[in-house]
Structure 1
Amino acid sequence: MSEQNDDMQNSAVEDNKNDAPYEKVKERKVLIQPYDYAVRTLMEMIIEGDLKLDPDYQRNYRWPDDKASRFIESIALNIPVPVLYFAEETDGNFSVIDGQQRLASLFRYIKPDEAELLYPDSILPPLELNGLKLRPDLNKKSYISLERDDRSLIAKRPIRCIVVLNESDATLKFEVFERLNTGSSELTAQEVRNCIYNGSLSRTLKKLSANVKFQEMISLPDTSKRNMTDIELILRFFAYRNMTPETQYSDNYTEHLNNFMEENREISSEKIDFYTNLFNKTVETIYQHLGPGVAFRKPLNISDPTNSRFAGNLINGSIFESQMISVSKLLENGNPIPDDLRNRILSAFTKETYTDSVFQGTSQKSKVLRRNSTLTEIVLA
């Protein structure tokens, strides 16, 4: 199975984007600063909020107790452990790029009461060591029940930490994060964005994703929702909504979403209200006129889309984008909603200018502009 088909299967969103390379900028740099922090220092940084160990940034804690126990054992035995990577935020605090599970394991073992207090909705229960073979005498022991020498040894153990400084180029920070998070629990692009660009926009997108009718229409499997595919769809709607021929755009979908989140990381309460009202009204209108099973999907018979069956649960990202944008333009302009809105939207599939822009090379600027202007003109006619 190709990499592209793997992405489609994992996300349940069809979209042949064919991203272009990132826009070339000569002075792109990643600035880093190494530190050796003692374990006790890292724990205090988490408690004080200087180090954001927040399951909302990444997937929830998922290490089994025996794996967490072996990591604690490695710390106690001074066995080398992997470097921790942090990203410096604009306020000078750090968020975790790589090492969330290791830090969470230490935190739930050394500071179980604080872990429960700081993260009541996450899975960070107190940890008792088990399954240890090199130090079996530590099995069934909590941190507080260890001998003083063992507690001191763990608390004083330094761990090398690499901080990607805030002055680093945003695109390269994204690439650093994405490349460090490899393996069986690799993060999706939106999970990476949620960490690097965490702010009022990311929190707004998460709240909007809870819209029941939106979830019913996109009908994503649980794995895709956990991977923030639903949140990325909403981000896509806002990021492409006001694109014009003058918009600087390198035909790279990922870079465009990154830039939008960086530029709008902290938005005003007025803008939050605008985004919230516009999104919810647009979803409500599409739900009423297209509904689940039709909205955001490809008709199986393009020549007669109004009487066609549709492509099951697999939605198309470009169709989603264009339908959301065109209907939102209708609502924002205060135009009356036409009775034949459904037929207008579906009639776009009979136009080559539209179909050519939603099924192939969809990240190209010319196709983004073409599909959205074509459908908007039909809806507003």
Structure 2
Amino acid sequence: MADERTLQENLDLIQQKARERTVKTQTVEYDLETLAKRIDRKSIKLDPDYQRRHRWTRETSSRLIESLILNIPIPVVFISQDVDVDDEISEDSSRYTVIDGQQRLTAIHDFLRNRFPLEGLETLPELNGAYYKSLPSFLVRRLEERTVRCMRIDSTVDAQIKFDIFERLNTGSVKLEAQELRNATARGPFNELVKELAQTHYFRDLIQVDVNRPDDSPKVQKMEDAELVLRFFALSHGRYRGFRKGFKEFLTASQVEFNSLPEDQLQEWKEEFETYMKFLHVRGGPAPFAKWRLADGNEKRMSSFNAAVFDALAIGLAETFTVTQIENDADLVEAKIRQVRALFADPDFFASVSGSVNDAAKVMHRINAVAALLQQ
């Protein structure tokens, strides 16, 4: 605990941080139809891929509608003001982005647009099977009079601070994961590229996502697939050597930085990623990112996919072989890749893909170990 003298000595620093981290907010209330219309017009933006990764069941959405009918309070929705109200923007541009409350607003919007019937209600079971258009008029009036309170975050708050704010929030039934937060607070062309690459069939197959039913995978639902793509770019090109501590913050800062890259650089990165992942998909053998235990001459596969092994192999490969070498010397590269499994017999390498795997020393050790083996 800080004593009084320490606090006094750090007073200037505390004041500076307090000024920098103070967030300006404004509370506004919208009726349900206004919210639905703003979402229709994209004035309030739900993530474009959000429906694909919708994590509420129809029954959970129905219970929210039941709560609104019964006038039961629901949590505040947090929105980010991305464009000032006085700024002129195109009609298809959003002024606000929903950060915390996407599930609730999606449920409200879809019910008011007759996209699902109510189901699983216990207090008002008589409404099970009813669409919005078939509700009795007095219940429609009830919903028309309901409002949702929104906390609006000022447009001047930068992406990292927004990430910190919303990481602390746990107002919804399903807490947002780290990459979901980045997707909401650090949007831009690189973020779109990450999501595009995460959906490719060869990458999904590599990370053990069923390509025929990707929406059922927790990796897809929680955007862990997109975070893996971000990990690749954040650590490649020697950047892993500059990582010190705070892996979550490192990834967020990297995404913010990469959103400012020129289009030709992003296109080059896209082609690199596709080359390395397609090579591993075809030449890396079954489950190339699996974790193994090698002891006493026996091999035991401990998992089909391990994110730390992904770091080691994918970045080690990219650090060692250029795209041209991958394309021209595929047999040689494949032979090198086949030797990587032997590293699991090394206790230090095994430790680097076990436990707190995002420790800076472990990240550097496992990537260096694979790169050194491939360079032999």
TM-score range, shorter chain: 0.7 to 0.9
Deviation at 1:328, TM superposition (A): 1.9
Structure 2 counterpart SS, 1:168: coil
Deviation at 1:282, TM superposition (A): 0.8
Q: Is the 8 A contact 2:63 2:120 kept in 1?
A: no
User: Which one has more relative contact order, counting CA pairs under 8 Å at least 6 apart?
Assistant: 1
Q: Which amino acid aligns with 1:377?
A: A
Q: TM-score, normalised by structure 2?
A: 0.74
Structure-2 residue corresponding to 1:264: 258
State the distance in 2 between where 1:102 and 1:66 align.
10
Q: Which amino acid aligns with 2:76?
A: V
Structure-1 residue corresponding to 2:208: 219
Structure-2 residue corresponding to 1:341: 336
State the distance in 2 between where 1:85 and 1:62 align.
21
Residues 158 and 374 (structure 1), Cα distance of their counterparts in 2 relative to 1, 3 Å cut: same
Structure-1 residue corresponding to 2:109: 107
- Identity between Structure 1 and Structure 2 (%): 25
Alignment of 1:347-366 (within 5 A): 347-349=342-344, 354-366=349-361
Deviation at 1:264, TM superposition (A): 2.1
State the distance in 2 between where 1:261 and 1:327 align.
22
Once the two structures are superposed, residues 146-186 of structure 1 have per-residue CA deviations (whole angstroms, 9 ceiling, x without a partner) of: 54x76555335433210223333534422332332467523
Count of paired positions = 337
Structure-2 residue corresponding to 1:255: 249
Deviation at 1:236, TM superposition (A): 0.8
Does 254-263 or 129-138 show the bigger shift?
129-138
Pick from 176, 179, 183: which aligns with 1:190?
A: 179
Q: Is the 8 A contact 2:308 2:357 kept in 1?
A: yes
The structure that is helix-richer by fraction is 2
Q: Is the 8 A contact 1:216 1:292 kept in 2?
A: no
Alignment of 1:136-285 (within 5 A): 140=130, 142-143=132-133, 146-147=136-137, 151=140, 154-181=143-170, 185-220=174-209, 222-244=217-239, 247=242, 249-265=243-259, 267-285=261-279
Q: Which amino acid aligns with 2:222?
A: N
Residue 354 (structure 2) pairs with residue 368 (structure 1):
no
Residues 111 and 285 (structure 1), Cα distance of their counterparts in 2 relative to 1, 3 Å cut: closer
State the distance in 2 between where 1:355 and 1:137 align.
56
Deviation at 1:231, TM superposition (A): 1.9
State the distance in 2 between where 1:178 and 1:187 align.
8
Once the two structures are superposed, residues 253-304 of structure 1 have per-residue CA deviations (whole angstroms, 9 ceiling, x without a partner) of: 11111111222236543233223221221123223443123x1223321686
State the distance in 1 between where 2:113 and 2:104 align.
14
Residue 98 (structure 2) pairs with residue 96 (structure 1):
yes
State the distance in 1 between where 2:170 and 2:156 align.
21
Structure 2 counterpart SS, 1:300: strand
Does 229-238 or 177-186 show the bigger shift?
177-186
Q: Is the 8 A contact 2:25 2:152 kept in 1?
A: yes
Q: Is the 8 A contact 2:160 2:252 kept in 1?
A: yes
State the distance in 2 between where 1:52 and 1:203 align.
15
Structure-1 residue corresponding to 2:44: 51
Residues 297 and 29 (structure 1), Cα distance of their counterparts in 2 relative to 1, 3 Å cut: farther
Q: Which amino acid aligns with 1:273?
A: Q
* Runs (5+) with no aligned partner, structure 1: 1-23, 113-124
Once the two structures are superposed, residues 30-63 of structure 1 have per-residue CA deviations (whole angstroms, 9 ceiling, x without a partner) of: 3322112233332222122111134724741524
State the distance in 1 between where 2:203 and 2:241 align.
31
Cα RMSD, aligned residues only: 3.6
Q: Which amino acid aligns with 1:322?
A: A
Once the two structures are superposed, residues 176-212 of structure 1 have per-residue CA deviations (whole angstroms, 9 ceiling, x without a partner) of: 3233246752332222222222333232222222333
Residues 80 and 361 (structure 1), Cα distance of their counterparts in 2 relative to 1, 3 Å cut: closer
Q: TM-score, normalised by structure 1?
A: 0.73
